[in-house]
Homo-oligomer: A and B are copies of this chain.
Amino acid sequence: MQRSNLGIKDLAKLADVSIGTVDRVLNNRSGVADSTKERVLRIIKETGYKKNVVASRLKLAKNKVIKIAILVPSAKNELSYWNLPLQGVDSAVDELSEMGISIDYFYFDLLNHQTFSDQIDKILKEEFDALITVPFFEFESNRLLGKAKELNIPVVFLDTERDLLFPGNFIRQNSFNAGMVAGRLLHGLIGDQGTYVVVNILNDRGKQINNFQRESGFRSYFEDCVEEEHIKLHTINHPLEDQFDLVPELKDLLDPNQQLGIFVTNARSFLLPDILASNHISNARIVGFDLNDKNISYLKNGSIDFLINQKPQFQGYAAVKGIYKYLTEEDMSQLNIDIPVEIVIKENVEYYTPFGRGVEF
């Protein structure tokens, strides 16, 4: 696709007006006679003119910085999952720093929807140009979208997709698909003669949308792709406690002659290997989510077989870049992204860890 190399100056000459007038038409500003406007628009169309975004931001970078707010759950510590999208956000902001962009961080308490609402109100008052957050509270997310629509502020949700009253932008992995992927991976290891358990290890927030969708995708894989009737497929919902132990529940399902396939629907798969080992259960295979340090170390020593990466850094990165593209080019195409379901094993994990060799996220 060859860009026409015409500039605003050329348009002005062709339309026999000043560049100021061309600019008014291009940016839909008032104060142009209808006849003039029409003429300029025709020229723009005929020449296939495309704005030089870089040049336009050069002037604006100082006065009109694009202000983005990001509101995520408050992190317990530096290793927390929610630091990862923030890292991605930071590198996008860094990359675009010459173009005039800024980011402000806000946090809410996952167990208290009021803190989410309060922060939203605060953000909307401060005149940000865009907002990145997560749709964990349904009612509050709807309220947010309603207000953002009024104020004409784009909102991008990370991590989870959820049906809301207004159309929203989502940058997240398709969790149903991720469950399907987990199904095939585990099935490949265990085969048709096996016991399969979906393990939901739940904190005080209970079962989340992603957990439901992952389980549903996992079950769907076995319904769609496996003809055998022998497959035993169970679900354990277990609270995350200090003395975490789901062996009692597992024992009911165990068949010593069969392999055990465990699908942990969130990042806590690292809780399983020690429990299994101390109970002398050695015929189990595990698939989990997310590249936290504990999961990675069990992946490396062979106790966990596969991890699925949601690319949280990339989610943050893509959100900022998508917002920038939308606000500078009115191009919405990057505001909705299906993150690849990335399959990680011991031998390729180094490419996907923050300080690994890769240049991507």
**A residues apposed to B, CB below 8 Å:** 1, 3, 52-55, 57-58, 94, 97-99, 177, 180-181, 183-185, 188-189, 221, 225, 302, 305, 314, 318, 334, 337-338, 340-348, 351-352, 357-360
Contacts and interface: CB of A to CB of B under 8 A. Distances in A.
A221 B348 CA distance: 13
The 8 closest A-B pairs by CB, nearest first: A340-B351, A343-B343, A341-B348, A180-B347, A338-B357, A181-B347, A54-B98, A188-B189
18 contacts: A3-B97, A53-B98, A54-B58, A54-B99, A58-B58, A184-B346, A184-B347, A188-B189, A188-B305, A189-B189, A225-B302, A337-B359, A338-B351, A338-B357, A341-B348, A341-B351, A343-B345, A343-B348
A180, A183, A345 pick with most chain B CB within 10 angstroms:
A345
B54 A184 contact: no
Nearest to A171: B359
Contacts of A340: 348, 351-352, 358, 360
Contacts of A1: 94
Contacts of A346: 184
Contact of A345 (B52, B185, B359): B185
A93 to B, nearest CB: 10
A343 B184 CA distance: 13
Contacts of A357: 337-338
A63 to B, nearest CB: 13
Contacts of A305: 188
Contact of A52 (B98, B188, B338): B98
A187 to B, nearest CB: 10
A348 B181 CA distance: 7
A357 B342 CA distance: 14
A348 B177 contact: yes
A177 B347 contact: yes
A3 B61 CA distance: 13
Nearest to A321: B359
Contacts of A180: 347
Contacts of A334: 359
Contacts of A347: 177, 180-181, 183-184, 221, 341
A97 B1 CA distance: 11
Q: Which of A3, A55, A343, A352 has the most CB of B within 10 A?
A: A343
